[in-house]
Amino acid sequence: MTNFPIAEFENQRTPFYFYDIELLRKTLDEIKRFSNYPGYHVHYAIKANVNPVILEEIRKAGLGVDCVSGGEVETALNAGFAANKIVFAGVGKSDWEIELGLAHDIECFNVESLPELEVIQEIAARMGKVARIALRVNPNIDAHTHHYITTGLAENKFGINLEKLDEIIDVAKMMPNVELQGLHFHIGSQITINDPFKLLSEKINELQAKYAEKGISFKTINVGGGLGIDYDNPNENPIPDFKGYFDTFKQNLKLSEGQEVHFELGRSVVGQCGSLITRVLYVKEGTEKKFAIVDAGFTELIRPALYQAHHNIENLTSDGDVEKYDVVGPICESSDCFAENEMLPKMRRGDIIAIRSAGAYGEIMASQYNCRRLPLSVYKK
Ligand code: LLP
């Protein structure tokens, strides 16, 4: 559980992100411990958070990186990750991004369509390179998560639909500057039950059996990311159930001799180690509601406004009687609301508030809308 160094916070300009690096280390230890099966490799989905202190811990722990843009590939390289541990996914890779990946000989491009495959072949030929690729397959599995973050259904823009896969494999195998080494899957994010991962494993088994009959095998299977965190109980469950997650694959995913499995975890690695710290500016009595107006807004943490996500909120400096508040930010939009009807100890101007479980898709999604300053970060090492 995170203990906040409140005395230190008093003199800090708010809002800022607070990262509990000790918790991040423990989380990484568990990931290593429970993924310790032959051929298992964990990549960090760097889109979740690129804070340099966090990246340094993740790099030291030996994880690879999953990127979805040229900017992320550059960020990973600058943070010292080895190019041969970088995979690059995304439905819309620009030419310069493909060139960047090839110039650095990254581990693998996860290819999402036939036109993309053709462009990779063309650029690799021009550069005298061979691009290692995996085909991202859309397995049509419902991850039972928010519709903005489900990605594995046939109607989503991601991946290659199953009925097109045979044809694209044939094309890829004929290409001189492309080496088809694997299949890639990612069914969605914030998945809190293991059933979808079991279904995914079974779907992959079916596909592998089908291709084995045709004499086609794959060196790597990338099962994507998606393991969720407990947003409602960050103190009780600061570390996700990595044992249950990796064991689901261990028990259900059939691998051939020497085959490797890649994982691309984002939220579950960094989600619980970060909190957004903000101050109460004003408490305003509405006709029916009481508003706690804080100095952070959706410019610092957009998840509640964008996905109706609920983050636990704690008043770190009040132990007054509990009252009902809408906790809102200063941005000139009604969606700038962190929580409605939240029961919190009496809020007063100057109180310090922690918005929990904000380590993933928090700081990295910050914007400067309303010409606001980007948030700072503070660490507990
Ligand atoms: N691999 C691929 C191909 C992905 O698209 C993603 C996330 C991941 C891995 C990592 O997924 P994770 O382990 O973090 O679930 N901004 C949203 C989440 C968007 C996720 C996008 N893709 C949020 O704040 O909930």
Residue 134 has what pLDDT?
Answer: 98
* Virtual torsion, Cα 137, 89, 107, 195, nearest 10 deg: -50
Q: Count the neighbouring beta carbons within 10 Å of the beta carbon of residue 267.
A: 26
Q: Which atom of ligand 1 is nearest to the CA of 269?
A: 13
Question: For tokens 């690729």, what's the residue?
Answer: 133
pLDDT tens, 348-358? Answer: 999 999 999 99
Q: Which residues contact 127 (CB under 8 A, 6 or more apart)?
A: 99, 102, 103
Question: For tokens 């490799």, what's the residue?
Answer: 41
Burial class for 310, CB neighbours closer than 10 Å (0-12, 13-18, 19+): middle
Q: How far is the CA of 173 from the centre of ligand 1 (A)?
A: 29
Q: Is the CB of 240 under 6 A from ligand 1?
A: no
Residue 155 has what pLDDT?
Answer: 62
Q: How far is the CA of 268 from the centre of ligand 1 (A)?
A: 10
Residue 160 has what pLDDT?
Answer: 92
CA 135/CA 297 separation, integer angstroms:
39
Torsions phi, psi for 341 (to 5 deg): 50, 45
Q: Is the CB of 192 under 6 A from ligand 1?
A: no
Residue 2 has what pLDDT?
Answer: 63
> Where would I find the beta strands (DSSP E) of 215-364?
220-222, 260-265, 274-285, 290-294, 313-315, 322-328, 337-345, 352-355
Residue 141 has what pLDDT?
Answer: 85
Q: Which residues contact 136 (CB under 8 A, 6 or more apart)?
A: 89, 110, 111, 112, 158, 159, 160, 183, 184, 185, 186
Query: How many residues are given for the chain?
Result: 381
* Virtual torsion, Cα 151, 155, 157, 162, nearest 10 deg: 90
Give the mutation target among 43, 87, 157, 189 for probing the ligand 1 site: most ligand atoms within 8 A of CB.
189
Q: Is the CB of 145 under 6 A from ligand 1?
A: no
Q: Is the CB of 225 under 6 A from ligand 1?
A: yes
CA 126/CA 108 separation, integer angstroms:
18
Q: Which residues contact 209 (CB under 8 A, 6 or more apart)?
A: none
Helix (H, G, I), strand (E, B) or coil at 195: helix
Residue 200 has what pLDDT?
Answer: 96
Distances (CA, A) of 216 to 66, 117, 209, 225, 284: 25, 19, 9, 25, 66
Helix (H) or strand (E) segment spanning residue 160: strand 160-161
Ranges of the chain whose pLDDT falls below 50? none
Q: Is the CB of 303 under 6 A from ligand 1?
A: yes
Q: Measuring from atom 19 of ligand 1, which residue has the nearest CA?
A: 149
CA 327/CA 339 separation, integer angstroms:
5
